[in-house]
């Protein structure tokens, strides 16, 4: 007789534009299986589990779930708590008390670690539990995944933002720096390159955490572009580090803030951008230097989403349920590219994903280390989805001068 019991789903880490698609995929797919007695959602991730803060998603309407799926942010709320062994024992006790037999945790590599520890606790107690990590991160830094749900939509936001500021700096010349999220991996910053349609379009320079950031080199790069075009648009990752590996931001902030996973808090401040602006103004003697730190807008903006990302995030949730309910396995769901462009999903061992970070491969970074390659553009373009805007420019001929005629 197959096991019957409850499903528990939770969301961890930073919200994305499509994490609720995965939630909807899990809940709606799970309703098809008679052995599932209830579908619970934990409020605030693992924190909610130990506090038994559960919503009974069995009693959520299909229509509202579809609306929630279109909403950015984590509908079940999230957490940055990193469970230790004791915490995981409490999680496990709660799962057992509520007869939960399938646990789905939507999150990044930290969430994969949590699933791994909880799964180990269940195995130790010989309790039948299937624990599945479902991928989610705008950073796109999970190993064994071609890419992760959430990345495509955030990348689309970054590309559309740079399309706009590129037009803006054409109109009012100067230097513009956009600071993009990404602790260790430069994938999201690199997506700025997809704003480049014509040869003169920005971003003209892209700085990634995968390459050492050198201030003098940065100033020289900007100067060269500015002298050539009269303007310069730059994409900079918030995670750029100096040659010692120290984040540039850490060197700047008085009160550096770390989360429970030991990660430096990089977002929510304009300090890095303001420092780069000050450097350029001082070294290059250029007056109009502006910087925006895209911050939370790039992961939560309501109304900028990749349809491809939506589709995959939904299907990842459905796939996780299909695999968990038809096979007796735990693991981490991974997205793999099988064509140009097509994907497939498979389950990989939790230990291979947990707490590991995928960086931009060398082939995606230009030899000079200050831009991306066509290989990256080819990789990233389908992830941003269809109907990407395409800025147009005037092509009217120049009128001959009368008063200012050159001799």
Site for a copy of itself in 284-323 (CB under 8 A): 287, 289-297, 299-304
Site for a copy of itself in 178-207 (CB under 8 A): 195
Site for a copy of itself in 16-45 (CB under 8 A): 40-41
Closest alpha carbon to 106 in 27, 4, 186: 27
Catalytic position from the list 139, 141, 201, 309:
139
Q: Answer yes or no whether residue 86 interacts with a copy of itself by CB under 8 A.
A: no
Cβ nearer to a copy of itself, comparing 2 with 397: 397
Q: Answer yes or no whether residue 80 interacts with a copy of itself by CB under 8 A.
A: yes
Residues in the chain: 407
Q: Answer yes or no whether residue 68 interacts with a copy of itself by CB under 8 A.
A: yes
Task: Kindly tell me which residue out of 7, 9, 10, 15 binds a copy of itself, with binding defined by CB under 8 A.
Answer: 15
| Closest CB 115 distance from a copy of itself, rounded Å | 19
Q: Answer yes or no whether residue 170 interacts with a copy of itself by CB under 8 A.
A: yes
* Residue 358 φ/ψ, nearest 5 degrees: -95, 130
Taking the C-alpha atoms of residue 390 and residue 135, their distance in angstroms, rounded to an integer, is 30
Dihedral of the alpha carbons of 382, 73, 321, 132, in degrees to the nearest 10: 100
Q: Answer yes or no whether residue 403 interacts with a copy of itself by CB under 8 A.
A: yes
Cβ nearer to a copy of itself, comparing 128 with 282: 282
| Closest CB 396 distance from a copy of itself, rounded Å | 4
Cβ nearer to a copy of itself, comparing 68 with 380: 68
Q: Answer yes or no whether residue 255 interacts with a copy of itself by CB under 8 A.
A: yes
Cβ nearer to a copy of itself, comparing 361 with 389: 389
Task: Kindly tell me which residue out of 146, 212, 242, 274 binds a copy of itself, with binding defined by CB under 8 A.
Answer: 274
- With contact defined as beta carbons under 8 Å apart, do 58 and 189 qualify? no
Q: Answer yes or no whether residue 167 interacts with a copy of itself by CB under 8 A.
A: yes
Alpha helices in 51-182 (DSSP H): 62-69, 85-97, 109-124, 151-171
Cβ nearer to a copy of itself, comparing 16 with 330: 16
Query: 289-293 and 175-180: which strand pairing?
Result: parallel
Q: Choose one: 7-15, 123-131, 216-224, 352-360; the region binding a copy of itself (CB under 8 A).
A: 7-15
Q: Answer yes or no whether residue 369 interacts with a copy of itself by CB under 8 A.
A: no
Q: Answer yes or no whether residue 105 interacts with a copy of itself by CB under 8 A.
A: no
- With contact defined as beta carbons under 8 Å apart, do 143 and 356 qualify? yes
Cβ nearer to a copy of itself, comparing 58 with 373: 58
Q: Choose one: 143-151, 269-277, 333-341, 352-360; the region binding a copy of itself (CB under 8 A).
A: 269-277
Return the DSSP state at 391: -
- With contact defined as beta carbons under 8 Å apart, do 102 and 300 qualify? no
Relative orientation angle of helices 85-97 and 109-124, to the nearest 10 degrees: 70
Relative orientation angle of helices 215-229 and 271-284, to the nearest 10 degrees: 60
Q: Answer yes or no whether residue 399 interacts with a copy of itself by CB under 8 A.
A: yes
- With contact defined as beta carbons under 8 Å apart, do 366 and 372 qualify? yes
- With contact defined as beta carbons under 8 Å apart, do 368 and 376 qualify? no
Active site residue 139: yes
| Closest CB 328 distance from a copy of itself, rounded Å | 26
- End-to-end Cα, the chain, rounded Å: 95
Q: Answer yes or no whether residue 271 interacts with a copy of itself by CB under 8 A.
A: yes
Taking the C-alpha atoms of residue 72 and residue 236, their distance in angstroms, rounded to an integer, is 24
| Closest CB 362 distance from a copy of itself, rounded Å | 30
- ∠126-127-132 over CA atoms, to 5°? 115
Cβ nearer to a copy of itself, comparing 35 with 71: 71
Closest alpha carbon to 77 in 15, 25, 6: 15
Q: Tokens in use for 71? A: 């909403």
Q: Choose one: 112-120, 162-170, 243-251, 317-325; the region binding a copy of itself (CB under 8 A).
A: 162-170
Q: Answer yes or no whether residue 394 interacts with a copy of itself by CB under 8 A.
A: yes
Closest alpha carbon to 201 in 153, 156, 234: 234
- With contact defined as beta carbons under 8 Å apart, do 43 and 76 qualify? yes
Positions annotated as catalytic residues are 139
């Amino acid at each position: 007789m197959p096991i019957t019991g409850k499903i528990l789903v939770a969301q961890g880490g930073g919200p994305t534009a499509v994490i609720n698609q995965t939630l909807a995929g899990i809940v709606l797919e799970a309703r098809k299986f008679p052995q599932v007695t209830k579908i619970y959602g934990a409020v605030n991730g693992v924190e909610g589990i130990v506090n038994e803060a559960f919503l009974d998603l069995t009693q959520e309407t299909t229509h509202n779930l579809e609306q929630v799926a279109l909403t950015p942010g984590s509908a079940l709320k999230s957490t940055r708590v990193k469970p230790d062994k004791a915490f995981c024992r409490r999680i496990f006790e709660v799962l057992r008390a509520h007869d939960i037999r399938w646990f789905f945790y939507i999150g990044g590599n930290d969430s994969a670690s949590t699933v791994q520890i909880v799964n180990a606790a269940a195995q130790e107690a010989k309790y039948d539990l299937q624990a599945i990590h479902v991928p989610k991160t705008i950073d796109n830094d999970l190993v064994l995944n071609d890419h992760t749900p959430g990345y495509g939509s955030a990348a689309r936001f970054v590309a559309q933002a740079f399309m706009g500021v590129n037009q803006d700096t054409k109109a009012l010349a100067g230097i513009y720096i956009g600071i993009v999220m990404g602790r260790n991996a430069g994938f999201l910053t690199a997506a700025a390159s997809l704003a480049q349609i014509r040869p003169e379009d920005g971003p003209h320079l892209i700085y990634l955490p995968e390459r050492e950031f050198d201030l003098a080199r940065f100033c020289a790069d900007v100067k060269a572009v500015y002298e050539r075009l009269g303007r310069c648009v730059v994409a900079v990752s918030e995670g750029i580090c100096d040659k010692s590996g120290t984040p540039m931001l850490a060197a700047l902030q008085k009160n550096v803030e770390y989360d429970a996973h030991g990660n430096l808090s990089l977002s929510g401040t304009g300090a890095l951008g303001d420092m780069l602006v000050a450097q350029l103004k001082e070294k290059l003697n250029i007056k109009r230097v502006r910087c925006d730190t895209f911050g939370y807008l790039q992961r939560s903006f309501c109304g900028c989403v990749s349809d491809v990302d939506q589709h995959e995030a939904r299907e990842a949730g459905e796939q996780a349920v299909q695999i968990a309910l038809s096979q007796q396995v735990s693991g981490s769901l991974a997205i793999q590219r099988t064509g140009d462009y097509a994907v497939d999903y498979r389950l990989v061992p939790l230990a291979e994903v947990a707490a590991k970070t995928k960086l931009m491969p060398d082939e995606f970074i230009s030899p000079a280390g200050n831009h991306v390659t066509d290989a990256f553009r080819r990789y990233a373009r389908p992830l941003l989805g269809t109907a990407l805007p395409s800025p147009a420019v005037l092509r009217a001929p120049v009128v001959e001068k009368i008063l200012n005629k050159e001799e």
